[in-house]
Amino acid sequence: MKKYIVLIPLVLLVGCDYNLGPTINNNNTNTNTNSNNNDFHDLINFAPAVNPAAPVPTPNGGTETPLPLPLNAEQIATNYATANPTLVATSCPDTAGEAGWKFMDGLVGVLKASDARWGYMVKANTGMISRDVIGYRATSDDIGSWGVDVIVDLCGTSPKFAWQVLGFDANAKWSGTRF
């Protein structure tokens, strides 16, 4: 019987910077950019027009040019919110129940006193009234409205009045009353 000697080369890696596995970078930094402030103004499928002054279809087959937002509306709303900070702070219907609507109802009421086209924005996905967006009916029908977000951080830690014009949506529904 013959014997073979098999030599297996052995490489000794001592003090070398060899990496035999995947490179792991231990210098990663994760910066949280989540800025969720619970302001979910609950409008789904609201699609503001690129040109809110362009003619929109009417129910009778014609077209009409939507009205712009009234120039004095922001000042009227700001004055009302400034005079009623407690109503803004307690405007969450989830925690305050029906009392959580006092700010929205009062704001719509004071705006309606200057222009009857102010009202509530109707959510397209549920047909329910938005809890923090008001609507301005800009057409001769109840469809075609401007949306204005008026409460930032609704149901969050510090609700605040705001006047954030979301835009005009030719398909947005408006309601003169909340009921």
Could you report the per-residue pLDDT of 136-177, keeping only the tens digit for each? 999 988 889 999 999 999 999 999 999 999 999 998 999 999
- How many domains, the chain? 1
Query: What is the pLDDT, as a whole number, of residue 47?
Result: 85
* Cα 146 from chain centroid (whole Å): 14
Question: Is 143 inside any structural domain?
Answer: yes
Question: Is 49 inside any structural domain?
Answer: no
- Please report which confidence band the pLDDT of residue 32 belongs to, taking 50, 70 and 90 as the band edges: very low
Question: Is 20 inside any structural domain?
Answer: no
The residue ranking higher by pLDDT, 87 or 17, is 87
Q: How far apart are the first and last CA of the chain?
A: 103
Query: What is the pLDDT, as a whole number, of residue 38?
Result: 41
In the DSSP assignment, the letter for residue 97 is G
Question: Is 78 inside any structural domain?
Answer: yes
Q: What is the pTM of this model?
A: 0.75
- Domain holding 168, by residue range, is 71-175
75 and 69 Cβ atoms separated by less than 8 Å:
no
Average pLDDT over residues 65-88: 97
Minimum mean pLDDT range among 16-20, 62-66, 150-154: 16-20
Query: What is the pLDDT, as a whole number, of residue 136?
Result: 96
Question: Is 112 inside any structural domain?
Answer: yes
3-state secondary structure of 134: strand
Question: Is 170 inside any structural domain?
Answer: yes
Q: What is the mean pLDDT of the chain?
A: 82
How far is residue 133's CA from residue 2's CA, in Å, rounded to a whole number?
A: 94
Average pLDDT over residues 86-105: 96
Question: Is 114 inside any structural domain?
Answer: yes
Rg (CA), the chain: 30
Question: Is 105 inside any structural domain?
Answer: yes
Query: What is the pLDDT, as a whole number, of residue 34?
Result: 39
How far is residue 137's CA from residue 31's CA, in Å, rounded to a whole number?
A: 43
